[in-house]
Structures are given as structure tokens and as C-alpha cells.
Amino acid sequence: MDKPYIMHMITPAKNASPFDVNMACDAGWTTVIPYTDVEAAEITGLVQDAIFSRGPKGVRRTGIFIGGRDIDMAMDMLQLAREAMVPPFEVSVIADPSGAFTTAAGLVACAEHQLRKGYDADLGGQRVLVFGGTGPVGQAASVLAARAGASVSIVSHKGDAQARAVAQACMDRYAVDNIDGVDGSSDSKKEALLAEADVVFGTAKAGVQLLTTENLKAAGRLKVAGDLNAVPPLGIEGVELMDDGKPIAGLEGAVGIGALAVGNVKYQVQHALLKDMVTTEKPLYLDFQSAFDLARSYVDKT
Ligand SMILES: NC(=O)c1ccc[n+]([C@@H]2O[C@H](COP(=O)([O-])OP(=O)(O)OC[C@H]3O[C@@H](n4cnc5c(N)ncnc54)[C@H](OP(=O)(O)O)[C@@H]3O)[C@@H](O)[C@H]2O)c1
């Protein structure tokens, strides 16, 4: 009997994500085992327990998925897993906490694609606002946009203290110096920010409307608005779920990218990364930069 493809799905959370279990099985992993409430200190032991029992062929059919909600914790666990390998007993590892890495990768790649298409520009030098950017998806999107050369502001609806703390933590951790944290707690504050924005991302909690058509009237130089909220009402009013570069009514030159258009790229990227882990001869270590590199090439091809 051929050895099964075993995915060890590790999460610091109470539950592994059913979404990720489905994605792993659909990509060719035949057996998916969840390990929940896992602490960073347990990663080395779990990884070394997984790698030694199956021989060289079995090692190639073994993978590790790191979930949870906290992007820094997931990156720490990915690094700890990598350091725990004992070549040739080495397996592929992917981190995608709360879908944040593949979703942020899809969002930023779609926005960059629209900038190229409509403005012959990239993210370099663009002023990017990330509403809801204190959450896991928003943090990953902020870091990716900052790495691509944008000047990024994480916008919080609770004032600037939390946003500034998260922005500083992202800069310290991911070696970028172009993220700040700003106050988006009122319509007038949001509109003042919008007046200077080239790109807007909506990455707040599902079901929250961040920007109304009235707010957007202030966005005189907006080029791209990308929204991730698939639960009514729309996160950015006027940007429909399936929009993929559709002009935003009343905003000359601006186009919208909706939650399901980004969701499609996220799906394709996560599927492809999980499949690469099945077929690779050499172990892969996949994080949000890996997801972004793939998302960029995917959107450019479509
Ligand atoms: N398409 C996909 O496959 C996919 C995958 C993953 C996630 N998503 C979507 O991506 C979005 C972000 O996910 P996430 O897990 O990062 O979100 P989250 O952690 O639930 O929320 C992100 C931020 O939303 C802000 N927020 C909460 N309540 C708010 C309110 N009433 N008004 C304004 N802002 C509010 C909070 O920031 P402040 O308190 O600092 O303002 C919070 O940090 C969600 O819509 C989610 O459904 C889509």
C-alpha cells in the first residue's frame, strides 16, 4: 500500500480551521490530523515526533500546517519547525493563520495589478490606508504593501493608540519603516485620511461597513479600493463582492476589488501552495511572502 499524504495541522487555537482542513484534502493531503491549543515550546517536540517514523519516501508525504490567529506566533512556529528538522528527515511547512497570509497576499496582489493596469504604476510611493489593519489580515497586508514600497497607515476605529502600537510591532518584526497607526474613529477623521489616499484596503471584522459613499466623496485621488468583507453590508459601499477592477460610481479613475474577487485569488494561492507541498522533492517553508509571490504571478496571468 502506498503511504498516505499526512498533514499535521498545528494551531495555538481551540480548533483547527475546517476551511483549512478542506483546502488540504482538496490539494491532495489524504490524512489531516489537528493538534490544538499548541504552545510555541511544543513545536520542536511535535515536529521531531512527526519526521522520524516514515523513511525518505514517507518524509516527502508528510507536511505541517500552522494556523491560529496571531501572525507573529505563526511566524515564530514556522521558524521553530524549520529549526527542528534533522536532514534528511525534513518536511514542508506552511503558515496561514486565520487565512491571513493567503488573503492578504491576494488583496495586495490584486491592488498592485489594478495600479499597473490603470496607472502604469506599482505600490511604490502610494499612500495606502488599511482600515481594520490591527487584525491579522490587515497586519499581513500592511507589511506586504510596505515591503512593496507604499507608505502605509493602519487605521483603527478605536483611536490611534492601538493602531500605532500594532504599526510599530509590524515594523520591528518585519524590518520595514513605512507603517504608521492613525485614528479612524469618526467620519471626519476617516475623510481627512481619505483625502490623501491612493489605495484603500478594508480588512475589518466581517459584517462591518467601514466607508460609506458619503465618506468616499473625500477620496479625490483614490485609485484602488479593495474590500474583504463578504458579510452584508459591504465593507466599502459601492465595491460589490465580485468587482474586479470595476470603476467606483462617482469616483473618477478609482476602481474596486470586492471580497469574492480577492477570495478567488486567495483560494487559488492556498490550493497551489498546499499542492506544491504534496509534489515537492525539496522541503518548502511557506509564509506570507511566498503567498504574495504566487498571488502576484497568478493575477498577472489572469
Ligand atoms: N476571503 C477570504 O478567504 C478571507 C479569509 C480570511 C479573512 N477574510 C476577511 O478578512 C477580514 C479581516 O479578517 P480578520 O480576521 O483580520 O479580522 P478581525 O481580526 O475580525 O478584525 C480586524 C479588525 O477589525 C476592526 N473592527 C472590529 N470591529 C469594528 C467596527 N465595529 N468598526 C470598525 N472596525 C472594526 C478591529 O480593529 P480596530 O478595533 O483597531 O478598528 C479589528 O482588529 C474579515 O472581513 C474576514 O471575513 C476573508
- Strands (E) across the chain are located at 6-10, 31-35, 62-66, 92-95, 127-131, 151-156, 179-183, 199-202, 224-227, 244-247, 255-257, 285-286
**Cell for 112?**
498592485
What would the pLDDT profile of 68-120 be if each residue is shown by its tens digit?
999 999 999 999 999 999 999 999 999 999 999 999 999 999 999 999 999 99
DSSP characters over 129-160: EEETTTSHHHHHHHHHHHHTT-EEEEEETT-H
What are the backbone angles phi and psi of residue 217, rounded to the nearest 5°?
A: -60, -25
pLDDT reading at 275 higher than 90:
yes
The finding on whether 137 has its CB within 6 A of some atom of ligand 1 is yes
Q: What is the predicted pLDDT for the residue at 27?
A: 98
DSSP state of 2: P
How much of the chain exceeds pLDDT 90, in percent? 96
Could you tell me the distance, in angstroms and rounded to a whole number, from the CA of residue 6 to the centre of ligand 1?
A: 32
The finding on whether 266 has its CB within 6 A of some atom of ligand 1 is yes
Closest Cα partner for 238 from 87, 227, 166?
Answer: 227
The residue whose C-alpha atom lies closest to atom 6 belonging to ligand 1 is 99
What would the pLDDT profile of 189-237 be if each residue is shown by its tens digit?
999 999 999 999 999 999 999 999 999 999 999 999 999 999 999 999 9
The finding on whether 136 has its CB within 6 A of some atom of ligand 1 is yes
Q: What is the predicted pLDDT for the residue at 302?
A: 80
How much of the chain exceeds pLDDT 70, in percent? 100
The finding on whether 79 has its CB within 6 A of some atom of ligand 1 is no
What mean pLDDT value characterizes the chain? 97
Q: What is the mean pLDDT of residues 52-64?
A: 91
Is 255 exposed, middle or buried (CB count within 10 Å of its CB: 0-12, 13-18, 19+)? buried
pLDDT reading at 1 higher than 80:
no
Q: What CA–CA distance (Å, rounded) separates 44 from 56?
A: 20
What would the pLDDT profile of 254-263 be if each residue is shown by its tens digit?
999 999 999 9
| Total-model pTM | 0.97
The residue whose C-alpha atom lies closest to atom 8 belonging to ligand 1 is 228
How far out from the chain centre does Cα 178 lie?
18
The finding on whether 139 has its CB within 6 A of some atom of ligand 1 is no
Q: What CA–CA distance (Å, rounded) separates 287 from 74?
A: 9
The finding on whether 226 has its CB within 6 A of some atom of ligand 1 is no
Could you tell me the distance, in angstroms and rounded to a whole number, from the CA of residue 120 to the centre of ligand 1?
A: 30
The residue whose C-alpha atom lies closest to atom 17 belonging to ligand 1 is 205
Confidence band, pLDDT 50/70/90 cuts, at residue 55: confident
pLDDT reading at 166 higher than 90:
yes
Confidence band, pLDDT 50/70/90 cuts, at residue 56: confident
Ordered by where they begin, the domains of the chain are 6-99+265-301 (3.40.50.10280), 104-260 (3.40.50.720)
The finding on whether 263 has its CB within 6 A of some atom of ligand 1 is yes
